[in-house]
Structure 1
Amino acid sequence: MAVSVPRHEFLRDDLPGRDPVLSEGVVWALEDLREAPEAIADAMSDALLLAQERSVPDPAAAWLETWEAWVVAMQCGSAMFAAAATTDDSVACLIHHEMRTLLASGPRSWAHAGTWINVFYLAVICGDKARLDALCEIPPSLLEASGAEFDPYLRPWMETLRSYWLTRPDLGDQLLQAAEGLAPEAAPIAGPEMTTKILWPGVDLFHRFATADHDQFSRSLANALTLHKQYWTADEDRARDARGLVPIGPLAMVCLAQDAGFPIDVESEYLPKHLVKRTWVGESTT
């Protein structure tokens, strides 16, 4: 029997419709790529925010426009790392149906491990294996050169995802290190609330997926969505923040499980149905 986890009420009514496909912020950022390399990071975050905001009028992700926003967020994130890693003067990347030229950026503050993980999640959600392959070729030294500081769990969690995709033998060791690094006292930057309610559930879900524990995966998923809801309704500011509408980490884990044939026994608007069911995957070039 399916378990239902209702999504929290979103305390805003200034939500985007289907038109225009991209927000002004995304369009402006894409137009600035040649002059301002950092605009690619803005384009990614704005496109992801648009995708999450559209989940209110389109909770199942049935609109093509909703799918386009998810894809553009992934494409921008992928392009960010392509520009950072290229040894040429520039790199051509497909973003919103156009090949766009990005100047080589080298290590930058926005090309760090945290962003890498989010782009990995987006590529899983969009079912783009080629972008996952390319992302896993990014050398960790490039990410470390960003200068960004994170809690100790983040590096082994990134390597866990990389090891899974590349079928490396160190998957279990990396996952164990990531889990140990998410003890509340071990993650002072994130803090105990975010660690317990947002970060740990994604690692736990991956563990259940990697060990093919179907029953526990469903229980962990229901728990992850419940904790996510608690976090994003803790105060009015969070309840008005569209980033809480779709948890991309748990959603990516569900997409992995769906692709592997897991029974998904949890229903929730936190998990847009057509993203989970892979309805849009393969419908167009991403």
Structure 2
Amino acid sequence: MIPRHPFPTGNAEAGLAFLEESAQAWLGRLEGRSTALGEALSSTFIVAQARCLMDPRGAIYPTWDAWVTAMQVGSAVFAAATTTETHVRCRIAHEDRTLEATGPQPYVTPASWLTAFYLAAVCRERDRITALCRVPLSLLRENGAVSQEFEYAWIDALQTYWLGGPDLGQKLVAAIDGTDPETASDPETVGKLFYPPMEMLHRIIRGDHAGFTRALTAALQWHQEYWTQEGRSELIPGLVALAPLAMTCFAHDAGIPIEVESDYVPAVLVTRNWCGEFPT
């Protein structure tokens, strides 16, 4: 068991209510202004993570509902960015919504793609994962934001893994090589948050059960170390290790035993108990 770092819970209910109100406000703007998708993704994902503060196993329906909503928004970001039509129909928070095409936007980045992919993986949304894996890397370079090359290499590897494309090994090695602390602009973040899921995927591909357990353990320990640093320990994104959670879901579905328990990877999300509960 790798425990989650201490996190204050005194105002959890009031804080969650505020976050949910903010998220609902952004969702309400989407049909009138689809470029609000960036803020909608940030706010709904924060709610999904915050739900796990008091429900660390992801065992209750409102937690699953929040994760599905964030997943739907993440996928909608890229559906709106890639559509060749003037509008695209997306289901978000139990409603079918008509969104305007957006094309490249400042929030259409490698980081938002990875968030959308990981959320879709956790929710086992195969069609949405496939759609995300068909997003061209060139689109992610059109927003003008500065991203590191290893992020594009990692996305390329994930797309190749899911679609069964060629040269997966070479692409994964390229992504891992890009996290070298000697060349990374932020070695701590890259080493503790970006590299671990790459090693986890490597073990999944090899069918290495023991190696996966070691990689998952290391990923959670590094996540814990990163988020217990001063100035980070009370930030909501530290509550769940999203990338390791997504890789753990892939491993579970591939028949690899999950032998490490931690509130950083909510157990009920891993075992997909809520999948199919309602139309998504």
**Other-structure match for 1:200:** 195
Alignment partner of 2:99: what SS? strand
Q: How big is the shift at 1:22?
A: 7.7
Matched, 1:138 2:135: yes
Alignment partner of 1:130: what SS? helix
CA 16–130 in structure 1, closer or farther in 2 if over 3 Å, else same: farther
2-structure distance, mates of 1:238, 1:256 = 28
Matched, 1:109 2:103: no
Scaled by the length of structure 1, what TM-score is found?
Answer: 0.94
Letter in 1 for 2:156: E
Alignment partner of 1:38: what SS? helix
Matched, 1:89 2:86: yes
Q: How big is the shift at 1:38?
A: 2.7
Q: How big is the shift at 1:16?
A: 3.5
2-structure distance, mates of 1:69, 1:243 = 15
2-structure distance, mates of 1:139, 1:202 = 22
2-structure distance, mates of 1:239, 1:145 = 34
- Does the CA contact (< 8 Å) of 2:30 and 2:37 recur in 1? yes
- Does the CA contact (< 8 Å) of 1:232 and 1:238 recur in 2? yes
**Other-structure match for 1:118:** 115
**Other-structure match for 2:50:** 53
- Does the CA contact (< 8 Å) of 2:232 and 2:238 recur in 1? yes
2:35 to 28, 38, 56: 38
Matched, 1:253 2:253: no
Letter in 2 for 1:110: Y
- Does the CA contact (< 8 Å) of 1:15 and 1:54 recur in 2? no
**Other-structure match for 1:267:** 261
1-structure distance, mates of 2:127, 2:19 = 24
2-structure distance, mates of 1:51, 1:122 = 10
**Other-structure match for 1:238:** 232
Alignment partner of 1:91: what SS? strand
1-structure distance, mates of 2:10, 2:19 = 18
2-structure distance, mates of 1:15, 1:70 = 18
1-structure distance, mates of 2:111, 2:43 = 17
- Does the CA contact (< 8 Å) of 1:16 and 1:54 recur in 2? no
Matched, 1:216 2:183: no
Letter in 2 for 1:247: A
User: Any runs of at least 4 consecutive aligned residues in structure 1 with deviations exceeding 6 A, and if so which?
Assistant: 19-22
Letter in 1 for 2:178: G
- Does the CA contact (< 8 Å) of 2:31 and 2:97 recur in 1? no
Matched, 1:174 2:168: no
**Other-structure match for 1:6:** 3
Once the two structures are overlaid, the 10-residue window that deviates more, 249-258 or 44-53, is 44-53
- Does the CA contact (< 8 Å) of 1:111 and 1:143 recur in 2? yes
CA 120–275 in structure 1, closer or farther in 2 if over 3 Å, else same: same
1-structure distance, mates of 2:93, 2:19 = 9
Scaled by the length of structure 2, what TM-score is found?
Answer: 0.96
Give the share of equivalent positions with the same residue, in percent.
Answer: 43
- Does the CA contact (< 8 Å) of 2:220 and 2:264 recur in 1? yes
* Structure 2: gaps (5+ residues): none
Q: How big is the shift at 1:21?
A: 11
Superposed CA deviations along residues 144-181 of structure 1, whole A, max 9, x for unmatched, are: 11122111211110011000110011211110100110
* Structure 1: gaps (5+ residues): none
1:282 to 263, 276, 279: 276
Q: How big is the shift at 1:44?
A: 1.3
Matched, 1:73 2:70: yes
Matched, 1:158 2:155: yes
- Does the CA contact (< 8 Å) of 1:153 and 1:182 recur in 2? yes
